Amino acid sequence: MRSLIFNVVYGALSIFYTLWAAISALRPGRGAVRRVVSRYVRAMVWAMRDVAGIRIEVRGRERLPPAPFILAPKHASYGDGFSIYAEFDDLAFVTGDHLERFPLFKTVLKKLGAIVVDNCGGPEARQALARSAADAHRESRIILIYPEGHLAPVGVKFRYRTGVYYMARDFNVPVVPVASSLGLFWSQEDWTKHPGTAVLEFLEPIAPTLDKDDFMQRLEAAVEDRTAELIAEAKGAAVVPAVLGMPKDELRRQAADAKRA
């Protein structure tokens, strides 16, 4: 029953704030839309806590460097986006173009200054990512990017993509890895939610001066190792390292390619 009520509240809040943001997008500047989205994510954190029973404990704020910097979190739940965004006044978040298929979202994302990339990837997508990220950097905004690019089930990791490295190198800003146990309580986009205390932890920043291989290895190890520890802490069990998996859309793409071959 709790999950049902939360999902109804989730839908109602999303519709209400999307409409409000779309109307606010008619005003000049980005401030009006930004304030609406900030209210939305805080309302969702409230709903997670008071309706679904999922409390967020934030750790490691003292590790955050002065802005601008890049956040590189584990992406195990729709809820982690709300939880992270609620900690900052203005984020430039990287998202796939699938969100633009929802009514009004394209207008809101553009006005908000979100960094929208083609889910199919390729050179054009990388160039678009670089251009949008450069705009955000010029405004000294904090950039949020999920290195795996997909929602990962608890105990699974996907290949870490190098876009975060190139942004850090090109803009000469540190990257803050973010670990989370939220996937235990709100797994991916699952309907069912589980009450409890989830931890969101900002880890030690990684300097942009490392070479690509060292940077990516350090980032993945920081996020995955600490996430595994937080999950073990929440379950009261031994630490189990995540196993490498492949996102469903990539599996489908490989299967389609195999049929055509």
pLDDT-above-70 percentage for the chain: 89
Using DSSP's 3-state secondary structure scheme, residue 6 falls into helix
Write out the two tokens for 258.
Answer: 């195999």
Give helix then strand counts, H and E, for the chain.
8, 9
pLDDT tens for each residue of 73-102 = 999 999 999 999 999 988 888 887 666 566
CA distance 105 to 192: 25
Assess if residue 27 is contained within a domain: no
Using DSSP's 3-state secondary structure scheme, residue 142 falls into strand
CA angle at residue 88 from 131 to 157, to 5 degrees?
70
Residue bearing the bigger pLDDT, 128 or 200: 200
Write out the two tokens for 71.
Answer: 């956040």
What is the residue range of 175's domain?
56-260
Assess if residue 226 is contained within a domain: yes
Assess if residue 170 is contained within a domain: yes
Paired residues of 94 in beta bridges:
115
Mean pLDDT, residues 94-115 taken together: 73
Strand extents, DSSP E, the chain: 54-59, 70-73, 91-96, 115-117, 142-144, 156-157, 175-180, 196-202, 243-244
The pTM of this model reads 0.90
CA distance 12 to 261: 46
Mean pLDDT, residues 161-171 taken together: 92
Assess if residue 46 is contained within a domain: no
Residue bearing the bigger pLDDT, 77 or 107: 77
Assess if residue 50 is contained within a domain: no
Assess if residue 25 is contained within a domain: no
What's the domain count of the chain?
1
pLDDT tens for each residue of 32-72 = 999 999 999 999 999 999 999 999 999 999 999 998 999 99
Q: Read off the CATH number of the domain in which 159 is found.
A: 3.40.1130.10
Assess if residue 28 is contained within a domain: no
pLDDT-above-90 percentage for the chain: 65
When pLDDT is cut at 50, 70 and 90, the band that residue 103 belongs to is low
Is the separation of the CB atoms in 35 and 69 below 8 Å? Answer: no
CA distances for 182 relative to 79, 93, 169, angstroms = 7, 19, 30
Is the separation of the CB atoms in 187 and 155 below 8 Å? Answer: no
Assess if residue 31 is contained within a domain: no
Greatest pairwise CA separation for the chain in angstroms: 53
